[in-house]
Structure 1
Amino acid sequence: MPCLTTLGVTPPLLAAGKIHWTEWVLSSFSDPWVFFGFAAQAVFASRFIVQWLASERRGVSIVPVVFWHLSIVGSAMLCVYAIHRKDPVFILGQSLNMSIYVRNLMLIYRPRSKPPAGVDP
């Protein structure tokens, strides 16, 4: 795990109890990339909160359009983080997910064909 060694903390120190886990977590934020990764994860996770609140408001399970926008932004941020970390599994996974999110937005925003004159929709 490269981010652990760049912070001057190795997993054995944490496991051996030489440092407290809160110290390790807080020291992680001194690395801007770790902060970016946490921010990306927060954006990505926020889509579920938005979906949950929208569903509660309507009383049925729905997926609002903003869910897909948050999915794309969060996934793109996570992909940038994965590229920085040089993690091919993470890069591929986020890239494939983004294509699904974009496709959903294409379907949502696709112009609807108009019914023929005299036909009620």
Structure 2
Amino acid sequence: MHDAILDFLNVDSDVELWWVLFGLAGQLAFTARFLVQWIASEKVGRSVIPLAFWYCSLVGGAVLFAYALYRGDPVFVLGQSLGLFIYSRNLWLIRRERRAQ
């Protein structure tokens, strides 16, 4: 069974398997942000971006960034690093706005 899982995921070791699972968890967190945004928008009947969207983006992006570093994929690393900056900046702007109120 163990070898079948390794073969199915095209990995050579348990370490590689854990990195793939880690990357998949990051992708799930990243994808969850769309569900959060959709549900929040449906509740109010207009398009909104809730705070949880940015946290899901940041968590998923950070995990995917770590996975991209492990894989050594410069395109993936660059894409995730830019996203991390944007998600962090949005959270900072939201925090600053709330503190001013």
TM-score by length of 1: 0.69
User: Which letter maps to 1:79?
Assistant: F
Unaligned runs of 5+ in 1: 1-6, 10-23, 114-121
Residue of structure 2 equivalent to 1:112: 100
2:72 to 63, 76, 86: 86
TM-score by length of 2: 0.82
Residue of structure 2 equivalent to 1:38: 24
Residue of structure 1 equivalent to 2:81: 95
Aligned length: 90
Stretches of 4+ moved more than 4 A in 1? none
1:112 CA displacement: 1.8
Asked which structure has the greater RCO (Cα within 8 Å, sep 6+), the reply is 2
Q: Greater share of helix residues, 1 or 2? A: 2
Identical columns (%): 51
1:66 CA displacement: 0.7
- Write out aligned runs for 1:12-51 (5 A): 24-25=8-9, 31-51=17-37
Unaligned runs of 5+ in 2: 1-5
CA distance in 2, matches of 1:39, 1:107: 27
- Higher Cα radius of gyration: 1
Residue of structure 1 equivalent to 2:45: 59
Cα RMSD of the aligned pairs, angstroms, is 1.7
